[in-house]
Chains A and B, each alone.
Chain A
Amino acid sequence: GQSLEQPSEVTAVEGAIVQINCTYQTSGFYGLSWYQQHDGGAPTFLSYNALDGLEETGRFSSFLSRSDSYGYLLLQELQMKDSASYFCAVPDRGYNKLIFGAGTRLAVHP
């Protein structure tokens, strides 16, 4: 089976840097995705790591270590609009199905 663990809540201040960790246990591994969801909104794709290392997209970066079954999402120069839930997810075999973590609720304060 597949399972992902991420912290339930993270709090940070504007301008700071925050890291949201995700550890996974999967029977087969094809990569790690991250999604953002604002309250009342739909999930939005942020990043996908298939290989080890850091991928940077603007203020957001995502890291993967396949040997440690671990990844993280790094948010820099936090803004109030970054307050949202963040989900890590892994595709199941065949890439037809995404398994989501329970989500991390990020609260950014002034």
Chain B
Amino acid sequence: DTEVTQTPKHLVMGMTNKKSLKCEQHMGHRAMYWYKQKAKKPPELMFVYSYEKLSINESVPSRFSPECPNSSLLNLHLHALQPEDSALYLCASSQTGSEQFFGPGTRLTVL
């Protein structure tokens, strides 16, 4: 299985809501990533987990909270988001770092 899956595909939430994004990979990759991507921009790294431990946090606001329950799963918990947080949220996994496999993304709209 060479696929990274993400749920949900689309999410609309208010600024007071709490929601979670989910990501799963079954390739046995050691590293998993969360990226944020705005239209016509490159993916912007948010978090990196390596061997289930948070190894990089790119100074992301605390309203985004990552979690890695096991080597196959990655969650991103969202709370009190702002309209400017509306974007495509991409999950990726990798064994080498240079070749990353991306999921289809969650299109998030914050009202």
Contact = CB atoms under 8 A, between A and B. Distances in A.
Partners in one complex: yes
Interface of A: 30-31, 33, 41-45, 48, 50, 85, 87, 91, 94-98, 100-103, 105
Contacts of A41: 104
B106 to A, nearest CB: 11
A50 B40 CA distance: 27
Contacts of B96: 95
Q: Interface majority SS on B: helix, strand, loop or mixed?
A: loop
B98 A31 contact: yes
Contacts of B40: 85, 103, 105
Nearest to B99: A45
B50 interface: yes
Interface of B: 31, 40-43, 45, 48, 50, 55-56, 90, 96-105
A96 B97 contact: yes
A45 B105 CA distance: 15
A45 B102 CA distance: 8
A26 to B, nearest CB: 13
B101 A45 contact: yes
A98 B90 contact: no
A98 B98 contact: yes
A23 B52 CA distance: 34
A54 to B, nearest CB: 18
Contact of B98 (A85, A95, A100, A103): A95
Contacts of B103: 42
Contact of A42 (B41, B48, B105): B105
19 contacts: A41-B104, A42-B102, A42-B103, A42-B104, A42-B105, A50-B98, A85-B40, A87-B42, A91-B97, A95-B96, A95-B98, A96-B31, A96-B55, A97-B45, A97-B56, A98-B45, A102-B42, A103-B40, A103-B41
